Amino acid sequence: MRRLVIIEMMSIDGFYTGTGNDVSVMPYDSAFEAYNIERISAADTVLLGRTSYDEFAGFWPPLAGDPEASPGAREFARIYNGLEKVVVAHHKTPADLTGIWKDSTRIINDDAHRHVAELLSGAGKDVVMWASRTLWIDLVRHGIDAELHLVVGNGLVGAGVPMFGGADGIELTGLGAPRRLPESESILLTYAVTAGGTPRSAG
């Protein structure tokens, strides 16, 4: 059984993004970048929702060869470009795919819970997710167990999308002590994430 590992950054006041879904206000640092490389190196598949896929497909691919990008960003993009991407998107088809991710992307149009369960039941390394908050909450509510690796950054956002807004119906169980990321003020919290109520579609 493969692990579904969700990696998220949260501000210390509990936000997933800032106002207007602005992620640039989040307290990212080089330690979060290094942790992302650690996690993607332990995976062979990335699972995404449609919105996250569209945003990431326009952002990450060119960074692999961009001399202006940080070494960590280049390494992360290089690995990401080579991995299988599985996208849950009701209104997307293979004909919509472009760019260098086209040949490494598989689309799930319907019955996502069954398809993701089958993906996790097969052989392989971790299946990893970044962002795609609505998707992973919905999957967990429908019986897909996961690990949440929550990096709490030392920054105040003030307003925006709360990390756990609308996440009723899931339960978190700690998986060990919190730890401070190396040379950072960010704290890593790890949880087992399971359904804790009657499943329903995420808002």
**What is the 3-class SS of 98-140, one letter each residue?**
CCCCHHHEEEECCCHHHHHHHHHHCCCCEEEEECCHHHHHHHH
> Where in the sequence is the domain holding 28, given as residue range(s)?
4-195
Q: Is residue 87 part of a domain?
A: yes
Stretch 53-65: mean pLDDT: 96
Average pLDDT in the chain: 94
- The rounded percent of the chain whose pLDDT value lies above 90 is 93
Q: Is residue 201 part of a domain?
A: no
Q: What is the pLDDT of residues 112-144, one digit of tens each?
A: 999 999 999 999 999 999 999 999 999 999 999
Q: Which of 84, 42, 81 is nearest to 63 (CA)?
A: 81
CATH code (residue 42) = 3.40.430.10
**Overall number of domains in the chain:** 1
Q: Which of 67, 56, 63, 101 is nearest to 83 (CA)?
A: 101
Q: Is residue 202 part of a domain?
A: no
> Which residues, 6+ apart, have CB-to-CB distance to 70 below 8 Å?
30, 33
Cα angle 142, 44, 104; round to 5? 95
DSSP run (H or E) holding 38: helix 30-41
Q: Is residue 101 part of a domain?
A: yes
Stretch 103-108: mean pLDDT: 97
pTM score, whole prediction: 0.92
